[in-house]
Amino acid sequence: MRVFITQRLTAVALVLFMTLHMIVVHYPPGHLDFNRVIERLASPVWKGIDILFLLAVLLHALTGAYAVLMDVERVTPYKRALVGGAVVLGLVAFVYGTMTIIAFDPANVLALR
C-alpha cells in the first residue's frame, strides 16, 4: 500500500514540477538564453526546487519499476533484493544529483565563457 501511495503522491508532485518547469524554461517572458539559466541555477531557492524535483522523479520511477516487477510471479521471491537494490540505486542517484546541483557555481561557468 505504501508503494501505491508514494506513486500517487509523487505523480501529483511531478505534475506541479513539470508545470513549473514548462512555464519557467519553455515559455518564459522574453528571450531565454544561457545567462538567465545561470541566474536561476545560482539561486538557492531554485537549487532546492531542482533537488525536490530530482527526489520526486527518483521515487516515482523506482516505485513504478518495483510495482511492475512485482506483477511478474517469477520475480516475487527476489522481493527483498529488489527493494535493497532500488534503495541503493535511489540513494546513489539522489546523492550524485544533489551534489551536482549544489556544486554548480555561476562564477566558474562565466569564467569559461
Q: What is the pLDDT of residues 28-56, one digit of tens each?
A: 777 778 888 888 888 999 999 999 999 99
Using 50, 70 and 90 to split pLDDT, how confident is the model at 78? confident
Please compute the mean of the pLDDT values over residues 55-84 and round it to a whole number.
90
Q: What's the CA angle centered on 107, arms 37 and 101, to 5 degrees? A: 55
Q: Has residue 69 got a pLDDT over 70?
A: yes
Specify the pTM.
0.86
Query: How is domain 2-112 classified at the CATH fold level?
Result: 3 helical TM bundles of succinate and fumarate reductases (1.20.1300)
What pLDDT is recorded for position 88?
96
DSSP per residue over the chain, as a string?
A: -HHHHHHHHHHHHHHHHHHHHIIIIIS-SS---HHHHHHHHHSHHHHHHHHHHHHHHHHHHHHHHHHHHHTSTTTGGGHHHHHHHHHHHHHHHHHHHHHHHHH--HHHHHHH-
Q: What's the CA angle centered on 17, arms 12 and 20, to 5 degrees? A: 130
